[in-house]
Amino acid sequence: MASMGAGYLDVEPLVRQVKYGGYVNKLLQNICASEGLSKLGVKADLQQRIIDKLQHYVKTKNTPAYQRLKSMIEHPSTILPQAGMASASSSVAGTPVPPSPYLGLNGPYNTGGGASCFRPLGHPRIEFKSSPYFDIQEQIGNPSACEVMTQHRHTVKMIIRPQDYPILSKASSDETLRVMVFCAGETAGRQDISFPHQSEIKVNGGEVKANLRGLKNKPGSTRPVDITKELRFNPQAYSNSVEMTYALTNKKFYLIIYVVKAVLVADLVQKLSTGKRISEAAVLEDMRSKARDTDIVATASALSLKCPLSTLRIDLPCRSIACRHNQCFDATSYLQLQEQGPTWLCPICNNPAPFEHLAVDEYVQNILKQTSKSIDQVIIQPDGKWELNARKKDNPQPSRPSDGVASDSDDDLVEITKSGDNVRMGTPRVAPSLPTNGTPSHQSREQSSSSSVPARDSLGSTSGKRPISAVIDLTSSGDEEDEPIARQPKRQFTGNGYGAPSASTPVYRPPPPPSLTYPSR
């Protein structure tokens, strides 16, 4: 803007606006025609004529003419097209025009507002999608075209001198100002940030560690490369070298460097908390309308108070205004995840959930305010009323009795008792008051086992309770036996390998062999 305090006219902001303001040839031609300048030539010629005229007005201190030209630059849509523009345009169209590498800004990245994207001047079809994490402040240098390289490697190089761009001196002291490298392919429509698949970036000879591919099979998840720490801002005349080496490309790419103002996640969360909201009344009305639908059987459902991304309790519940579910996610966790790899998909229903569609759910927010931090789930009734999930408190899991006695209702338990040196395994008795079909009675079980159970064990087993230490669960085994097979007693062997006979057992002795006599000759 011009500073009229002491007759000083600041021309630099207008020069940058003419170069990088996104003006098309027609608007530049209208400005030139209004100032009596030639309308012929390429865009760079038109821009230079306007800049020279500005500097002439400043040098001659022609304030009225300067203000008139300044107004046309800031509000070009108010300029009426001059007569003969069609013929001039046709003559320009007949002149070969080389592709201009200049790219400009025209979108929400500019704090002054505008369209929803920023586009390169030399190629109006290329438009970059917006991002809430940074605002473009100024373009550094001219864009570099990365030609198609199907077989060989190629390197594009850009030189940045801090003395040529005063904003770089601010970036050295302001942490929110970052110097970032953007890249996009030459295709129609609004473009995501996209680098060649095989590429690397070097600043002053050192490789920049950055993910140039984004998430696999997730277009648009690539972030611009921050090179602020690799640049040298002192001395001011130092030439910083920015190089990108790439290979095996089948389309053209454009490499652009911008100074951006980073937006913190905390600031986005604050903006979200004061932005769009889904009212509690709207949520309740939606629940009740579903409950009244005769084609839908409405039942109580559980609502988790934990974020599905961080598994921590939700602080600021939000969801997309297009989501049909009541489950929310935490705003901070979601925005931190999108900052690392922007996909902008709802983690619950996987539908698009861009930042401008996020809203705070007041229904879930009120539940969070009325419950303690130890509560991680509530039950939602079809009419919208909610209650604590007290199932665990009302129906606790059965625990072991403190007196060491098991209950008679354990039908799947098997009792093991010891009788001398033998072990007996039997099925627990059933109380007489609980007869069942197909189950032997208490008396029949006792008679079948009375021959093998000592009296002291029988006395203890007639009680309705069993010591818990003598009860094990064998439900996982199908081999249950009433009586273990008694093994034959082992024989004792002597050192010579023959069994030693007892005193009552006669010893068998084989008779002596018969004597043989031979007749004499």
Of 3-17, 43-57, 307-321, 435-449, where does mean pLDDT reach its minimum?
435-449
User: Is residue 4 pLDDT above 60, yes or no?
Assistant: no
Q: What proportion of the chain, given as a percentage, has pLDDT over 70?
A: 62
Inter-CA distances, 214 with 221, 338, 390, Å:
5, 12, 44
Task: For residue 400, give Cα distances in angstroms to 52, 396, 406, 463.
Answer: 94, 12, 8, 19
More confident residue, 89 or 138: 138
Asked if residues 185 and 147 have their Cβ atoms less than 8 Å apart, the reply is no
pLDDT at position 343 over 70: yes
CA–CA gap between residue 51 and residue 36 (Å, rounded): 14
Burial readout 5-27 (b: 16 or more C-beta within 10 A, e: otherwise): eeeebebeebbbbbbbbbbebeb
Average confidence (pLDDT) over 490-510: 54
**Is the pLDDT higher at 233 or at 490?**
233
Amino acid at 287: M
The per-residue pLDDT for 399 is 43
What percent of the chain stands above pLDDT 90? 34
Please, which residues bridge with residue 246 across strands?
A: 154, 199
Predicted confidence (pLDDT) at residue 336 exceeds the cutoff of 90: yes
pLDDT at 316 over 90: yes
What 3 state SS string does 196-255 have? CCEEEEEECCEECCCCCCCCCCCCCCCCCEECCCCCCCCCCCCCEEEEEEEECCCCCEEE
Average pLDDT over residues 115-139: 66
Strand-pair partners of 433: none
Model confidence at 330: pLDDT above 80: yes
* Residue type at position 362: E
Q: What is the pLDDT of residue 356?
A: 93
**For residue range 404-452, what is the model confidence (pLDDT) as tens digits?**
444 454 444 555 555 455 545 555 555 554 444 444 444 444 444 444 4
pLDDT at 491 over 80: no
Q: ∠233-238-243 over CA atoms, to 5°?
A: 90
Fold of the CATH domain 127-262: Jelly Rolls (2.60.120)
CA neighbor of 262 nearest in space, from 139, 356, 174, 177: 177
348 class by beta-carbon count within 10 Å (0-12 exposed, 13-18 middle, 19+ buried)? middle
Angular region, 98: left φ>0, alpha ψ -120 to 50, beta rest: beta
Comparing 24-33, 118-127, 371-380, the range with the smallest average pLDDT is 118-127
Q: Report yes or no: 323 and 346 within 8 Å, Cβ to Cβ.
A: yes
Report angle CA 354, 130, 128 to the nearest 5 degrees: 130
Above 80 in pLDDT, residue 278? Answer: yes
Above 80 in pLDDT, residue 325?
yes
Q: Where are the domains of the chain?
A: 12-93, 127-262, 268-392
Q: Pick the closest to residue 12 from 138, 112, 136 (CA basis).
A: 138
pLDDT of residue 24: 80
Greater confidence (471 vs 150) lies with 150
| Parallel, antiparallel or unpaired: strands 198-203 and 206-207 | antiparallel
Report the range out of 226-235, 450-459, 491-500 with the highest average pLDDT: 226-235
What pLDDT is recorded for position 104?
39
Average pLDDT rounded to a whole number, residues 353-377: 94
Distance set, CA 141 to CA 50, 124, 126, 209, 220 (Å): 20, 19, 18, 22, 25
Between CA 241 and CA 233 the distance in angstroms is 12
pTM attached to this predicted model: 0.54
- Among the listed residues 325, 309, 327, the one whose alpha carbon sits nearest the alpha carbon of residue 317: 327
| 277 pLDDT more than 90 | yes
Rounded to whole angstroms, the Cα distance separating 25 from 89 reads: 9
Please give the mean pLDDT across all residues of the chain: 74
Q: What is the pLDDT of residue 72?
A: 85
- Ranked by mean pLDDT, which of 253-257, 440-444, 453-457 comes out on top? 253-257
Please choose, from the candidates 183, 197, 257, the residue with its C-alpha nearest in 3D space to the C-alpha of residue 227: 257
> Per-residue pLDDT tens for 235-252?
888 999 999 999 999 988
The pLDDT of residue 465 is above 70: no
Q: Minimal CA–CA distance to 105: which of 168, 21, 173?
A: 21
- Rounded to whole angstroms, the Cα distance separating 224 from 104 reads 17
123 pLDDT band, cuts 50/70/90, is very low
Structure tokens given for 354: 């861009």
pLDDT at position 107 over 60: no
Q: At 11, is the pLDDT very low, low, confident or very high (cuts 50, 70, 90)? A: confident
- For residue 67, the SS3 value is helix
E strand map for 275-325: 277-278, 301-304, 317-320
End-to-end CA distance of the chain: give it in Å, rounded. Answer: 158
**Which of 49-58, 280-289, 458-467, 484-493 has the lowest average pLDDT?**
458-467
**What type of residue is 228?**
T
Nearest to 104 by CA among 26, 179, 182, 5: 182
**Domain 268-392 falls under CATH 3.30.40.10:** yes
Q: 470: exposed, middle or buried (C-beta count within 10 Å: 0-12, 13-18, 19+)?
A: middle
The answer, yes or no, to whether the previous bond of 235 is cis (omega within 30 of 0) is yes
The reply to whether 268-392 shares the fold of 127-262 is no
Q: Dump pLDDT digits (tens) for 295-313.
A: 777 788 899 999 999 999 9
Q: Provide CB contacts within 8 A for 347, sequence distance 6+.
A: 308, 309, 329, 334
d(CA 177, CA 137): 9
pLDDT recorded at residue 396: 47
Q: What is the pLDDT of residues 135-193, one digit of tens each?
A: 988 888 888 889 999 888 999 999 999 988 889 988 888 999 999 999 988 666 677 89
Q: pLDDT tens digit string along 193-225?
A: 999 999 999 999 999 999 999 888 888 899 999
Q: Which amino acid is at 67?
A: Q
Kindly state the average pLDDT of the residues 105-125. 40
